[in-house]
A = this chain, B = another copy of it.
């Protein structure tokens, strides 16, 4: 079965085989050595000098950790709701009694800076802007650097959900001045889900000192103190940490630039294929993470395409969620993935589309992907 989904992504064989090795005990020098290596790898991944904390949870846990560690009841924040994941920031902040100014963004669109600055102007007491680097539910890329720059100017914290972004495209935390950056294990890190990573800027750590919201499992100050001793506050997800060191070594061997270029190339190939097949793009500023296309009018129900690809061809792509259910297709192209995964995905898509009544010249999309790949510079 082939995973062309925005997480979990395919796990490399050398990482999978690591999981077949015995799990070590976490209160040992051996664990501490591994954990030390992971920390340096994560700082490389996040492009930061700050500690990157490892939490035994999935990405949503790290989003909640951010909120409960930075804020106090009735603090004002702005959330950028450009899709399901932006909406999640809103929900978490409201759960904890924050005053949330939600910037609604049309599905498939990127946030407009003018709208954001207007909202910042209207609410001078806002402490942070919470947003996604890539809104994976729509495929839209957000203008991270510009958002961060605007936040910095106003002394507002920038909180970036990079769950499906870190390691896929460039998000230099320190250089851009991102105040909080998070990611999850089952994305660019090519691991099973169950680990989340989070880094805070000095400014964010200062705000964390004043936070009055309750936290225990997700207490980042405690986690940081323990991490300084090469330990975790609670029992860590040891096997995932053992695997993470192997996966991150692979990422390091390739290097950031090559990885970012690779993902851009696969995005370009996928988009060339979709275009050749006459499919209409959904996201206006598409992210290198995934390509979203509208379900063609000849096929009313997008779910049928996803189902056919899975059941007949063993290729998993994802459809739309919530209000986009059945309306879009999401083709991912990141992680342990190369041009031949794109070829496979497009080939399966072509066959499924044809079988469901959409006119396709078989191989046309595949050829376009190959051509785009060869010509990519």
**A residues at B contact (CB < 8 Å):** 1, 3, 5, 7-8, 10-11, 16-17, 19-28, 30, 56-61, 64, 91-92, 95-97, 184, 186, 192-195, 214-218, 234-240, 310, 316, 318
- A59's partner among B20, B24, B193, B235 (CB-CB below 8 A) is B235
With A20-B19, A23-B192, A238-B193 in contact, is A215–B95 under 8 Å at CB?
yes
Nearest B residue (CB) for A7: B235
Number of copies: 2
Nearest B residue (CB) for A68: B214
Contact A239–B5 (Cβ < 8 Å)? no
With A58-B237, A310-B28 in contact, is A20–B17 under 8 Å at CB?
yes
The 6 nearest A-B residue pairs measured at CB: A19-B19, A192-B239, A194-B237, A20-B20, A60-B234, A58-B235
Contact A318–B27 (Cβ < 8 Å)? yes
Contact A3–B16 (Cβ < 8 Å)? no
Alpha-carbon distance between A318 and B27 when the two chains are bound, in angstroms? 9
> For A64, what are the chain B residues with a Cβ–Cβ distance below 8 Å?
216-217
Alpha-carbon distance between A28 and B11 when the two chains are bound, in angstroms? 18
Interface pairs (8), CB distance under 8 Å: A1-B22, A27-B318, A28-B310, A56-B57, A61-B217, A61-B234, A95-B215, A192-B239
Contact A24–B7 (Cβ < 8 Å)? no
Distance from A274 Cβ to chain B, minimum over Cβ atoms (Å): 22
> For A237, what are the chain B residues with a Cβ–Cβ distance below 8 Å?
58, 192-194, 237
- A95's partner among B27, B91, B214 (CB-CB below 8 A) is B214
Nearest B residue (CB) for A4: B25
Contact B238–A316 (Cβ < 8 Å)? no
- A61's partner among B21, B56, B97 (CB-CB below 8 A) is B56
- A22's partner among B11, B25, B194, B310 (CB-CB below 8 A) is B11
Known: A16-B21, A59-B234, A92-B216. 14 other contacts (CB 8 A): A5-B25, A8-B23, A8-B26, A11-B23, A16-B20, A16-B22, A17-B20, A26-B193, A91-B216, A95-B216, A193-B237, A193-B238, A194-B239, A237-B237
Contact B11–A24 (Cβ < 8 Å)? no
Nearest B residue (CB) for A92: B216
Nearest B residue (CB) for A65: B217
